[in-house]
């Protein structure tokens, strides 16, 4: 799913991930050595080893982060999309969430924005 969704994104487009964001990072173009360093808690990682698997982010690639809370990336994605709209930037934001996230109120509240 991530490969197809990210295939036509530009470098300026953003991705917000869930607790299983490794594939999303790879699909957006993350370097595997930096990603693995992050997963192993090494300072050479994208978040200097502090984000780890659950909270990996690569701001230079517009990967705005992963989140361990179910569907918590959806309102973050809406905020990023609103920022793009207000700046009149021609950018796309994708927020990934799983089937369990579809039941969360925050998803429906965000869709009402």
pLDDT, tens digit, 9 for 90 and up, residues 33-79: 999 999 999 999 999 999 988 899 999 999 999 998 999 999 999 99
Distance CA(11)–CA(63), nearest Å, equals 10
Burial of residue 29 (CB within 10 Å: 0-12, 13-18, 19+) is: middle
Q: What is the pTM of this model?
A: 0.89
Q: Which residue has the higher pLDDT, 36 or 113?
A: 36
Q: For residue range 20-34, what is the model confidence (pLDDT) as tens digits? A: 888 999 999 999 999
pLDDT of residue 20: 86
Beta bridge partners of 95: 16
**Cβ proximity of 26 and 74 under 8 Å:** no
Which residue in 54, 27, 62 sits closest to 38, CA to CA? 54
CB atoms within 10 A of CB 8: 8
pLDDT of residue 19: 87
Residue 82: pLDDT band with limits 50, 70, 90: very high
Average pLDDT of the segment spanning 98-111: 92
The angle formed by the CA atoms of residues 61, 62 and 66, to the nearest 5 degrees, is 105
Distance CA(92)–CA(10), nearest Å, equals 8
């Amino acid at each position: 799913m991530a490969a197809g969704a990210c295939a036509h994104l530009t470098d300026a487009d953003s991705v917000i991930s869930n607790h299983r964001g490794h594939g999303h990072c790879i699909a957006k173009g993350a370097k595997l050595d930096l990603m693995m360093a992050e997963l192993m808690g090494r300072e050479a990682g994208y978040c200097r080893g502090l984000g780890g698997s659950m909270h990996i982010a690569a701001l230079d690639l517009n990967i705005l982060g992963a989140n361990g809370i179910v569907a918590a990336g959806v309102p973050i994605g809406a905020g990023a999309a609103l920022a793009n709209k207000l700046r009149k930037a021609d950018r796309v934001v994708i927020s990934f969430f799983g089937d369990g996230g579809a039941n969360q109120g925050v998803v429906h509240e965000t869709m009402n924005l």
